[in-house]
Amino acid sequence: MSIVKSKIRTIPDYPKPGILFRDITSLLIDPEGFQLTIGMFVERYQNSKLNKIAAIDARGFIPGAALAFQLGVGFVPIRKKGKLPGNTISESYALEYGVDHVEIHTDAIVPGDKVLIMDDLIATGGTLEASIKLIQNLKGQIHECSTIINLPDLGGAKRIKDTYGIDVYSICEFEGH
């Protein structure tokens, strides 16, 4: 964990003053760090009998696709509204100043699929919560949510557990926001 955490850079005042942006691109360009990250996810989920990895647009796609490939399971993109062709369903989530939406193809999950939801980071949990609702609407069974980074001071992982009974596994944590 400490190796992975040490490879994630912090960019102060991005995207606005007072925010400490946890940037995984520094982890992704480091072969040792990226391999270790995916290896930790593989070790955790290799015996979970998952059918699909559903990953959130856009940074969640990177570990999600790599893990789906390693486990030999399907990869499901959860995208921002208007980015997926074909039939989709949509779910809204709150932003600091407004509302946004994520979508999933209606045929991406079949009833009973055992699904892991992945993103790069959990803060308040809004996008993970919307993704949970999408998968539940398609009758998928959510095994767990997984992220590289948890920002526990913002309470998202606790809220997901308390509201939905779904654990959020994260490789490392950072204080603050």
Question: What is the C-alpha to C-alpha distance for residues 70 and 116, in angstroms, rounded to an integer?
Answer: 14
Whether 175 sits among the annotated catalytic residues: the reply is no
Given 22, 79, 91, 96, the catalytic residue: 96
Q: Please identify which residue in the block is written with the tokens 């696709």.
A: 65
CA 25 – CA 30 distance, rounded (Å): 9
Name the residue type at position 41. Answer: F
CA 66-119-175 angle, to 5 degrees, is 125
Q: Which residues contact 90 (CB under 8 A, 6 or more apart)?
A: 81, 101, 102, 103
List CB contacts of 172: < 8 A, sequence separation 6 or more. 1, 2, 4, 5, 8, 148, 149, 150
Catalytic residue (choose from 59, 79, 91, 129): 59
> 44 an active-site residue?
no
Estimate the crossing angle of helix 156-164 against helix 126-137, to 10 degrees: 30
Residues with active-site annotation: 59, 96
